[in-house]
Amino acid sequence: MRPVRMLAVTTVAALALAGCGDEPSSTPKAGEKITGTVTVLAAASLTESFTAIGRDFEAAHPGVKVTFSFGASSTLATQIVNGAPADVFASASPTNMKQVTDANLATAPTVFAKNQLVIAVPKGNKAQIKTIDDLARPSVKVALCAAQVPCGAAATKALAAANVKVTPVTLEADVKAALTKVRLGEVDAALVYRTDAQAASADVEAIEFPASAQAVNDYPIVVVAKAPNLAGATAFVGYVLSDRARPVLARAGFQNP
């Protein structure tokens, strides 16, 4: 009977292995060549750092093309929920990422960076803004992001923590739009991410304020369910989470997760 038992066990094991081999894997196999286009929808504040990371990723995978759509995380999340094709989603807020995961369009996002607000003022700081309290002066024109946008939600939280009431002259669709108002001199100040102020340092000055520590944003990234280029999406997310991308994010002003 012993040989029969051994044969049965061997047969079951072989069938199990065969079944495993038929399952598609979301992780590229060692040595597997990544091809095609990887479509990444990412928060506007990631524009400079992800553009650089995209170039590095393409260099590491010849023949692969990374295309980006940058914008407000809330807008991008809505686009994905409404069926916009995407391989990867990188949000400036877990709240907007939750829109996608709640729709069963992604699972298990990973936080890869953090970002913090600063007060951005035009070079020369004509309004002489020194602290967050100065934004409450009636003569100071302030731009904020809209409340549904991550930088707007962070600004609301930071202003509450500082116990400062600000009446903005404009509410912008994303952090880049708010920063543009400063760069053009249309407002005296805006609450933007440290990374965006750093990227625009030729035109703006950044003023740190303690209450911003109460409104630090987590940035999650995820492979979108049914990604057209699953292998490429998985590889790109892995690259962003790797030590190869961390220096790029750090130079841009992002904090480690």
Q: Pick the closest to residue 174 from 149, 202, 138, 137 (CA basis).
A: 149
In a domain, 231, yes or no: yes
Q: Over the stretch 33-86, which tens digit does the pLDDT of each residue have?
A: 899 999 999 999 999 999 999 999 999 999 999 999 999 999 999 999 999 999
In a domain, 176, yes or no: yes
Q: Over the stretch 173-182, which tens digit does the pLDDT of each residue have?
A: 999 999 999 9
38 CB-contact burial (10 Å; exposed 0-12 / middle 13-18 / buried 19+): buried
Please check whether residues 128 and 98 belong to one and the same domain. Answer: no
In a domain, 16, yes or no: no
In a domain, 14, yes or no: no
Please check whether residues 201 and 232 belong to one and the same domain. Answer: no
For residue 1, pLDDT beyond 80: no
Please check whether residues 172 and 229 belong to one and the same domain. Answer: no
Instruction: List all residues 6 or more positions away from 160 whose beta carbon is below 8 Å from its beta carbon.
Output: none
In a domain, 79, yes or no: yes
Q: Are 233 and 91 in contact (CB under 8 A)?
A: no
What CATH number does residue 101 fall under? 3.40.190.10
Please check whether residues 239 and 198 belong to one and the same domain. Answer: no
Domain encompassing residue 134: 117-214
Which pLDDT score, from 0 to 100, does residue 192 have?
98
Count of domains forming the chain: 2
For residue 10, pLDDT beyond 90: no
Please check whether residues 122 and 201 belong to one and the same domain. Answer: yes
Which pLDDT score, from 0 to 100, does residue 31 have?
54
What pTM was estimated for this model as a whole? 0.85
Q: Are 237 and 221 in contact (CB under 8 A)?
A: yes
